[in-house]
Amino acid sequence: METASAAKSATQATNKSTSNQPKYEIVKEIGKGSFGKVSQVRRTADGKLLVWKEINYGSMSEREKQLLVSEVNILRELRHPNITRYYDRVINKDHAKLYIVMEYCAGGDLANMIRQRKKQLRDSRNQDLNAYVPEETAWKILSQLTLALLECHMRKDGNKILHRDLKPGNVFFDSD
């Protein structure tokens, strides 16, 4: 496991701005997946909290690397209020890592919301009616998810995007 100081030095060595200051500082790790890990970062220019998805591309085949480049290009083009916004990418060639910098969604994800509600119901022996997601909230989530997918499937430029990893853990909420 990488130590915090090793992560910090790797971060500072790879995301320098023109003034030789790091563009991003790691705040905390917020998740891990098969692709790598996700960390909350602070953009040093203005203090804005963002996340970056760290992807180790060193062991990827050429085809996988091409798909990764395509994914970054797609993310860069997407602009919709219900799609997590892309901000930047940082490449660390020395460590064969790509960091995709995206909007920070402070409200967590749908998978976590479902887990919390299930636990609340279990702990109350199905008596806590507040554990159920209000119908209005469910409709809001469904409509925003549908609008985001519509944006991907019916793009004005004619290039349709198919989301291949749609699951509750990839549906993020802002702080509202």
pLDDT tens digits, one per residue of 75-105:
999 999 999 999 999 999 999 999 999 999 9
Integer Cα distance of 74 and 16 in angstroms: 24
For the chain, the distance separating the N- and C-terminal CA atoms, rounded to the nearest angstrom, is: 34
- What pLDDT, on a 0 to 100 scale, did the predictor assign at position 127? 84
61 & 144 share domain = no
On the question of pLDDT at 12 being above 70, the answer is: no
* Residues 75 and 51 reside in one and the same domain: yes
pLDDT digits (tens, 9 = 90+) for 35-89: 789 999 999 999 999 999 999 999 999 999 999 999 999 999 999 999 999 999 9
Residues 111-164 have pLDDT tens digits of: 999 999 999 999 998 888 888 899 999 999 999 999 999 999 988 888 888 888
| Residue 67, domain member (yes or no) | yes
CATH at residue 30: 3.30.200.20
32 and 62 housed in the same domain: yes
List the catalytic residue out of 94, 165, 174, 176.
165
Domains contained in the chain, number: 2
Q: For residue 176, what pLDDT is reported?
A: 79
Question: Do 39 and 28 touch, CB atoms closer than 8 A?
Answer: yes
pTM for the structure as a whole: 0.81
148 and 81 together in one domain: no
In the predicted structure, residue 13 carries a pLDDT above the cut 70 = no
Query: For residue 157, what are the CA distances in angstroms to 14, 42, 60, 74, 152?
Result: 34, 33, 30, 12, 11
The predicted pLDDT at position 6 comes to: 42
Q: Note down the domain range covering 160.
A: 110-170
Question: Tell me, what's the pLDDT at 1?
Answer: 40
Confidence of residue 22 (pLDDT cuts 50, 70, 90): confident
Q: What percent of the chain has pLDDT over 90?
A: 69
Residues 122, 125: Cα–Cα separation, whole Å: 5
Length of the chain: 176
Residue whose C-alpha is closest to residue 59's, from 91, 34, 96: 96
**Would residue 174 show up in a list of annotated catalytic residues for this protein?**
no
User: From CA 101, how far away is CA 116, in angstroms rounded?
Assistant: 27
Residues 93 and 74 in one domain: yes
Do 144 and 78 reside in the same domain of the chain?
no
- DSSP string over 99-111: EEEEE--TT-BHH
Euclidean distance between CA atoms 100 and 87, whole angstroms: 8
